[in-house]
Structure 1
Amino acid sequence: MIPSRTARLRACVFVRAYPPAIIARAFSQSSVNCGAHPRSTLSRLWVPTGGVSATEGESGHGKLVRAGFLRQSQSGIFQLLPLGLRVQQKIEGLLDKHMQSIGERAPSAGRLVHIDLTIIPGASRLSLSTISSEELWRKSGRLEKASSELFRLQDRKETPIILSPTHEEEITTLVASTLKSYKDLPLRLYQTTRKYRDEMRPRHGLLRSREFVMKDLYTFDTSVESAIETYREVSGAYRAFFADLKLPVFIAEASSGDMGGDYSHEYHLANSIGEDTVATCNSCGYVANDEVAKALPPSTDKLGAPVAVADFRVWRGITKDRRTIVNAWYPALGSGSAEADINIHAVKEAVPELDASISDAVRLLGDGTEADSGPAATQLRVLNVVDARLAHSFSNLQPELPCVPTELSNRSLDHSSILRSPSGETLNLLRLADGDGCSNCKTGTLQVHRALELGHTFYLGTRYSEPLELHVALPNTKGGPAPVQMGCYGIGVSRIFGAVAEHKADERGLNWPRAIAPFEVVVIPTSGMTDETLAFYDLLAPGFDVILDDRKETFGWKMQDADLIGYPVTVVLGKPWRERGVCEVQCRSLGVKENVAAEDVPGYLAELLDKL
């Protein structure tokens, strides 16, 4: 008796085609357990498609909505649907893998290796409360600095609480209450949880939302040296994580901002809708965001060039105490707006008291002093910050320049000027531009990229352990317990979700990397379900994350839907399959469309997916 094709398929696929790694995966305990589960079929999965039309120039976020990954609940808040939840869970799983690999040391082949038990491999996962107290944030000194972005509320006892946008205060207090000895360190704790930020203008879907998911790792060490070594280990885990995603990220020097600390890097993905700016050098490899990146100062031949009043442009800001107008004078570049030309970070470096978040400085200063009269009005002042290309002419031309806004022309104002940075350097107030000289190597030129920030690493030092009293007694030291050295390492799970959608989408749809695709493979028969179709699925399922499209829709509709959803690989079971057992394997990312015998499909899929 000749075996049926189904029986032959069952016999040959494992024997001939599966690579050893796939066979191991197929017979792992997890896969054996999965064998009792129902098949993954699209008829069983809620994927609401239809009802949302494509738009011209549709963004990745638009495709996420149209493909049934998510829906908006309200401004900046989204509901994840089953496909979207699978993507988020895969990102979280990949993060778990790399967080738990921190500190591991790979042994040399064939050798016994001594394990240093003072090195604690991996980080422990926990879950901190979404609710934090204002008192903790006040104690750390962050409450007022971050107040405009906090969701603040009160309980029935009128105790002020907040929805946490980040958890440095909570984790520091928790560890302080449990740490007994320096022998309990180093300690590495992480969580992946929802966070909240009251964004003024939520936009670009998951990229700038008011509720989002983040992974935060917090590290605790006894010394600066061990904390910096931890920083290097975590940075290595971050690089490996983004390599698994096959994302071309820039690792940029960055400012610590309100987080504190003095060692910081950001992980950026270049994208035209990004709200961050990253500069890279074509010679030395220097990478930095625009908060810390500096171009070479203007050449000396430009500093003495004659200038007229028409060559001056001004951007107006205000200090945090609302008592000083800051005029930033920079050379005219054309018809662009001040916001497009000025480097706010350079102005803030010259005037640390500047409130860079305020766009209508004159109105605020006027409102804040409306009731002032007489001697009180003399407290107001104008501070002129002058770019080096204009500095030599500023004092002569100052009487002709609009140093005082017309709204304040009847006020008595003190005037002063800043012509150099606190370190004594001449001021370059222009925004970084392609072709600027690199200040790091002095020979290369900078290229400027719009980018999306996906992760950030901070060496915090004692920024939180000191005010929140996280101390530990160290051996062979004098002076009592010392504050613990801390680090904070964040990756935006929601933001990676949205950023990958934007970065990888094309005109046909989304295009997921294998590591976080909702499914690695979709099987689409051109006609109805048969026993052979189900047998083929059953043979692929143990070795791959595969779903079968068994919906009662036309073949053309299913193919368009597969393109929109963005599965890495599509396997079509058409007429050649029914007649000769030959499948069509498609991979849009690699430009592959190949006819493959059924028994060779597992091996071929493994090779394709390894490239994705």
Structure 2
Amino acid sequence: MPFLRNGLTRSAGAVHHIFHAKSSVSHTPPNVWTRRHIHCDGRNRLTKFWTPTQPKPKASSAADHEPIDGHDLLLRAGFLRQSASGIFHLLPLGLRVQDKIEQLIAKHMARLGAAKVSLSSLSSEALWRKTGRLEGRDSEFFHVQDRKDARFILSPTHEEEITSIVANAVHSYKDLPLRLYQTTRKYRDEARPRQGLLRGREFVMKDLYTFDTTETEARSTYEAVRKAYVDFLTELRLPYLVANADSGNMGGKLSHEYHFASERGEDTIIGCTQCEHSVNEELFIAPLAKAPSPSIDEAEPTTQTAGFFFAVSKDRRKLLWATQPSQHNLEFNLHALKQLFPDMDTTFDGSDYTSIMDAWMCDAEEDGEPRTRYLLIDSRNAASLETFSNQWRRTTSLPGPNGTDVPIRSEILPSEINGQPVLLTKARPGDPCPACEAGGLILQKATEIGHTFHLGTRYSEPLNLKVLDARNQPVTVSMGCHGLGVSRLIGAIAGLLADGKGLNWPVAIAPFGAVIVSTAGVGESDVDGLYDALTHQGMDVAIDDRERPMGWKLNDADAVGYPFIVVLGKAWAAGKQSVELQCRRLGIKEEVKAADLPKRIREYSARL
């Protein structure tokens, strides 16, 4: 048998790579060698595919009642490993899932006419300062400074960079519309990384940036992108939610979030039992006209459900007291309070009320400048408003800590937005829908996996992105940005479909659509023949050819979460030309003739 370079030996039908544990010298005694054969015949074999799975921990009675942790299963099934808090390495199985998600995204981006780019992870701080997005957010970013004192950040997103590139290259309306996307690593210095891939410090995202000459055209592009996102999620065959959302620091006033419903999700989506109303809880403010019927709540009041809510401004010069009807004992809606009191410090939890009040009074006593306190009364409390108003406004000073009177201003804030009275409390299940007459509200915990933003001129204006229109007049380009969290999708789907045995993957993004497992009595040529028949039908299949017991392989296949497991066992060894087909998500375990296997897998795939 002729030897090839690097210890390769050629044999009939396969090439084997021999790993020597002690020495590669030919005279080393065979009994001190350990060998692992890696087939390099082009078939997907698990012996050449590193899958460092870990055994399932021993069950405990407490663990039986805990929700399934998708992140823990990803670690145990060998998809990833943790490097540091919020930082993860993808291993071969995880990378195959990520690659398939990226390929599926690329298909839908191509349908939009988007061209793919790859922007640097280093972004100029100077550009971010031009758009004002560094103000007050420095702690969220990883900063880098080179030897010439130039300052950069590890990009959490690329609006500034892509806008600058396009501003220097596009000058006429004839060059628009333009749609550019990338799938790349992003960085955010999360204060509390958690839930594995769902809230990491390094993550993979797909970003699409769109550029249009007019606002009308940009809105049309936005709707086309929304449809592409819906088509992408539909192809995963998983239940999803689309909700109106807050644009936050990204800018613009139109955005939508895309979620998977999950009890472990960090968002709450409010929907309706009758109409298509759907909104993130962060945007929900109930009008007075849709106030729920009064009901006594016997639950013990908390800081955010008591009759009064105390808040302070970021500069600590303004104080706010908000009140709700005492018999309701509902939770205060911080988003509504923020709308009515924009200076509110949302990080203050009310636990240090005494020291805040003392500082507020002392500072006013020292500089002699009046401090302001506000009263905000829920629109249902008309009687309270009348009782408090006169007394509140008449108070112009309060006794200071040092015995002198401290001048203050006392004002009543109207609980109105755009002239319409609103409620200061959060929605509850069954409350009247604000968008229709018959529906009641449904609240669902959810995990965000995508977000679309119509930006308008938020970035093109400060970065001077203008083109000449058909009349040869300069116009500011209207933009949009649209993100899908690729690594978030992996983490979210892992938790969404997992069960007590392991992960479950949609066929479209599974590391392999099926795995072939055989007993010791089945020949290699039989396994290879079945593999070739399935792959000839376009199926993505792997062969578990590892030297492990049959039971171990089946448990491992369950942990990894292949959509289908094909077992060549006793029926095949007995010459029946039949296999056992397993699909855990559909609860299927049946004997199937090998000739009928591709058709049966296609039929079941349509139900997954």
TM-score range, shorter chain: 0.7 to 0.9
CA pair 371-156 structure 1, distance change in 2 beyond 3 A = farther
| Residues 427-448 of structure 1: per-residue CA shift (max 9 Å, x gap) | 3121111011111113311111
1:532 aligned counterpart, secondary structure: helix
- 1:192 is displaced (CA, Å) by 0.6
Q: Distance in 1 between matches of 2:138 and 2:352?
A: 22
- Deviation per residue, 1:272-303 (Å, 9 max, x gap): 11111111111122111112234352668979
Q: Deviations over 1:15-55 (max 9, x none)?
A: xxxxxxxxxxxxxxxxxxxx995321112111112266266
Q: Match for 2:519 among 520, 526, 542? A: 526
Structure 2 contact 115–179 (Cα < 8 Å) conserved: yes
**1:346 paired to 2:341:** no
Alignment of 1:188-587 (within 5 A): 188-297=179-288, 313-332=307-326, 341-359=331-349, 362=352, 372=363, 374=365, 376=367, 378-394=369-385, 396=387, 413-476=408-471, 480-527=473-520, 529-542=523-536, 543-579=538-574, 580-587=576-583
**Structure 1 residue identity aligned to 2:504:** N
Match of 2:595 in 1: 599
Aligned residues: 545
CA deviations on 1:316-361 (whole Å, 9 max, x unpaired) are: 333233322233323457888xxxx221111111122223244468
Q: CA deviation at 1:382?
A: 2.4
Please state whether the residue corresponding to 2:288 is helix, strand or coil: coil
* 2-structure distance, mates of 1:97, 1:234: 13
Deviating beyond 4 angstroms after TM superposition, the runs of 4 or more aligned structure 1 residues are 298-303, 332-336, 360-371, 397-400, 408-413
Gaps of 5+ in 1: 1-34, 103-121
Give the letter for the 1:148 counterpart: S
Look up the SS of the partner of 1:173 in the other structure: helix
1:87 aligns with 2:97: yes
**Equivalent residue, structure 2, for 1:152:** 143
Q: Does 1:64 align with 2:60?
A: no
State the alpha-carbon separation in 1 of the partners of residues 506 and 452 from structure 2. Answer: 24
Q: Which amino acid aligns with 1:227?
A: A
The counterpart of 2:43, out of the listed 39, 44, 58, is 39
Letter in 2 for 1:500: I
Q: 1:342 to 1:371 in 2, by over 3 A?
A: closer
Q: What's the offset of the Cα at 1:414? A: 3.2
Structure 1 position 218, deviation (Å): 0.4
Unpaired runs of 5+ residues, structure 2, are 1-38
Residues 265/99 of structure 1: CA separation in 2 closer, same or farther (3 Å cut): same
1:497-556 residue CA offsets vs partner (Å, 9 max, x unmatched):
111011111111111000110000000102265321222223223421111111111111
User: Pairwise mapping of residues 43-54 of structure 1 onto structure 2 (< 5 A)?
Assistant: 43-50=47-54, 53=57
* More displaced stretch, 148-157 vs 203-212: 148-157
Shift of 1:395: 5.7
Letter in 1 for 2:235: D
> Which protein has greater RCO, CA pairs closer than 8 Å, 6+ apart?
1
1:370 shift after superposition: 9.8
Identity %: 47
Q: 1:335 to 1:53 in 2, by over 3 A?
A: farther
Deviates more, 1:548-557 or 1:413-422: 413-422
SS in 2 for 1:502: helix
CA displacement at 1:573 relative to structure 2:
0.3
1:374 CA drift (Å): 3.6
| Cα RMSD for the two superposed structures | 3.0
Aligned to 1:609: 605
Whose helix proportion is higher, 1 or 2?
1
Whole-angstrom CA distance in 1 between matches of 2:326 and 2:150 = 52
